[in-house]
Amino acid sequence: MALHIAPPALNSRALSLYSERDIWLKLEALQPPGTFTIRGIGLACEQYAQRGASRFISASGGNAGIAVAYAGRQLGIPVIIVLPETSSATLSPP
């Protein structure tokens, strides 16, 4: 079960004209958790789940933590995300 999608690509007319080359933008922000990091992290979580992992732990205040949380939810495995003290206040629970 892949946790990521093959995102659509959009031709950028402006960049193509500017660079005189055909430029396509891969829309990775459309991944289910909103971050491209689900590609590698999702694969790692799937492999650990197959080996019997009972939980995932991630120290991240950014996209990696979001990807681990998403993978854990999809795989039915509990997740602990440790936010660094330097993380944005909007990421920290109240």
Averaged pLDDT in 10-residue chunks for the chain of 94 residues = 93 98 97 95 98 96 93 98 78 55
User: Residue 68: what pLDDT?
Assistant: 97
How many helices and strands (H and E) does the chain possess? 3, 4
pTM across the whole model? 0.83
C-alpha distances (whole Å) from 77 to each of 42, 53, 62, 65 are 12, 8, 20, 14
Q: What share of the chain is helix, strand, coil (3-state, %, to 5)?
A: 40, 15, 45
| Alpha carbon 67 to chain centroid, angstroms | 4
Name the 3-class secondary structure at 56.
Answer: strand
CATH class, domain 9-81, is: alpha beta
Give the domain ranges of the chain. Answer: 9-81
